[in-house]
Amino acid sequence: MTAQVLIARLSGLLVLAVALFGAAAEVSVAAEDGPIPDPPSLGARGHLLLDFNSGAILAEEGSDERLEPASLTKIMTAYVIFRELSAGNLALDDEASISEKAWRTGGSKMFIEVGKRVSIEDLLKGMIVQSGNDASVALAEHLAGDEATFAELMNREARRLGMTNSNFVNATGLPDPQHYTTPRDIATVAAAVIREFPEYYAWYSLPEFTYNNIKQSNRNRLLERDPSVDGIKTGHTQAAGYCLVSSAERDGRRLIAVVMGTAGDAERVADSQALLNYGFNFFETHRPFPGGEPVETLRVWGGSETGLPVGPARDLYITIPRGRYAQLSAELEPAPDITAPVSWGDVVGEIVLRLGDTEIRREPAVALADVRRGNLLRRGWDSVVQLF
């Protein structure tokens, strides 16, 4: 590709970026005079604040430290069950027979009874809202036969999600030396639940659930304190301390806060609220390029067509400090000499985002159309043109 053609194409992309960014900049906060404040100082053993759409980490400390998750484990338990429901291997109205082991499991309970049959939907709500250990074991046994086999499924899903510092040995989070995770890993599975199963995620905001004439309230007190919070799970054992994974959505933007190992319930609520407020108040998230929409047309050599529309395969979100959107710029770095055949989804370059002079993100630019090989005449002519 000649330098003139490359410059022309990049100039076209920059014009598009200015149009996109400029429109958003009109409604953004005026540029800040100085850097944003440091994240709040928390008493938790580990914490992490994640922007759901962009994946940006806005605050973290001890985020890769292996910690006991207590009932945060049930986020992964639910994720496994949700996957089976989605695959058609389970149905919400299926009924599980309650074993003596499930009934006897200590800790928080849904109060199911031995020998009774309980629907998968009720067991899920009992686990999500009431944090029922008995419900967790019953779900594990119904799906996998026993809890140990179910834990293997949990670990398989954890590896698939990229949770590299987690190991699960039970479905409840009851203490075990080999049962651990990290704030980063828990944020990963929490985001997966929200992204993949929004219809089930709605249950995490239920204020209460009644089963067997026993009404229990949701243990997540942030649901009452902050109307933007709609999930997700508390956890507590003496060894793990008090834990909370919370998620909130304000003005179309979602954050996930993970707080593990605080001294009490009040502390986990205050720490989680502090993280969420920090992320919403000092950062902003934008979508400069929608997924599947062209940002530029590149030259294809030896093809049935000479032009190839390219762009991100998925929505490209970016999180930046508040008030600096006008400083954001974009550039397309195309692969050299793109030659047919080209298939939809083939990586043909990179979209580079910069904030001021600092590169902050690269996203693959993919082909958004198929281009077949051209006929002999076309290929021959392009070969001659490429020489010059």
Q: Would you please indicate which residues are annotated as catalytic (active-site) residues?
A: 71, 74, 131
CA triplet 261, 192, 187: central angle to 5 degrees? 20
Tell me the sheet residues that pair with 320: 284
- Give the three-class secondary structure for 2: coil
Token pair of 185 as six digits: 């890993």
- Burial per residue of 290-323, b for 16 or more beta-carbon CB atoms within 10 angstroms, e otherwise: eeeebbbbbbbbbbebbebbbbbbeebbbbbbbb
CA 218 to chain centre: 23
In sequence order, the 6+-apart residues with CB closer than 8 A to the CB of 10 are 331, 332
DSSP per position, 248-307: EEETTEEEEEEEEEESSHHHHHHHHHHHHHHHHHHEEEEEEE-TT--SEEEE-BSBSSSE
Alpha-carbon distance of 316 to 365, in angstroms, equals 11
CA 325 to chain centre: 23
In sequence order, the 6+-apart residues with CB closer than 8 A to the CB of 265 are 221, 236, 242
- Burial per residue of 331-361, b for 16 or more beta-carbon CB atoms within 10 angstroms, e otherwise: ebebeeebbbebeeebebbebbbebeeeeeb
User: Which residue carries 């010059």 as its tokens?
Assistant: 388
CA triplet 24, 26, 31: central angle to 5 degrees? 95
